[in-house]
Amino acid sequence: MLANFLNKSKPINFIGLMIFFAVCFLTLNFIDFFNTQLNVNDLLQKIVILLIFISIFFIYNFITSKNNLTYDNSFGFYFFTLLMGCFSTIVDYKMLFFTIIYLLFLRKIYSLQSSKRVLKKLFDAGFWLGILCVFEPKFLLLFLLIYLSAYWHQKITIHTFSVPIIGFLTPVFCYFSYLFWYGNQEILTSMFLKGFSFKMSFFTEEKERIFMMSLLIITFFAAFLKSSKALLINNTFRRSWSLLLINFLVVLSLFFFENDSKNTETLFLVFPISLILANGLELVKKRILIHIFLYLFLFGCSAYLIFL
């Protein structure tokens, strides 16, 4: 039944999954209100966070449908919704803000498969990345995605090379000017000179470590399964798929710098993981296996939330 519902990409699927997320989110966040006195400010904050999540879902759905990153189904959005739900209880405004900027950045680089307004897209991609790097300089590694997308979908020229840099420097220069005006320019320089810490501890708690390791193993298996077919055909999807794999590996490397369940990179990983899983599942011929995997994924995410 679940596979039949998700087999087509229809507005009712999108609405249904959003309602499902909203119900789960409200249940998880408001269950304590039955035992404690209702705090109006906390209630309003939860509602605002829920609305931000919904806007994230709209951006995600636009990116995947506009750029044909999956076939005509809702598997990707299903995985994205469940994974975002798993981390919805530990997010804050900063993480959600970064996630929206990150998705707006991805929207531009994946849309480079179209030849319309290429320079504008490259400038916008650099601009959104510049905003991210103002707060977290380690996101500078995402610059690799801009040039790979330009190389695979268009071609590298002096214009396509320089425009993303100009876009990137625009918010950085504005922020530096603001700090310079108030005599705090050393804040920006100290941020970009800050070192990274590489950890292999993954999550501190065992249940978090098991959940994340299982998710990564399934993702790598799905990536291998899809790549064995997608990379054999020289078409637009092959280039988008290659970009998606690099997207996953780059964000995964950022995750290793500060691997904690409360880090922004955890939410960043949800985008490529959901699409990789969806594309891998599309290759399964037997419907019963698709049903089993979808329900097992739902059960795994639910168990993670229950025992969180």
Domain spans, the chain = 2-306
Tell whether the model's pLDDT for residue 202 goes beyond 60: no
Burial class (CB in 10 A: 0-12, 13-18, 19+), 35: exposed
pTM: 0.90
Chain mean pLDDT for the chain: 83
| The pLDDT of residue 195 is above 60 | no
- The pLDDT value recorded for residue 93 is 84
Question: Which pLDDT belongs to residue 215?
Answer: 92
- Residue closest to 206 by CA, chosen among 304, 85, 90, 84: 304
pLDDT reported for residue 98: 92
According to the model, what pLDDT value does residue 109 have?
Answer: 94
How do residues 53-96 score in pLDDT, each as one tens digit?
Answer: 999 999 999 999 888 888 878 888 999 999 988 887 777 888 89
Evaluate the CA torsion angle 49, 72, 128, 200 in order and state its sign.
Answer: positive
* The pLDDT value given to residue 282: 87
Would the pLDDT of 164 be above 80? yes
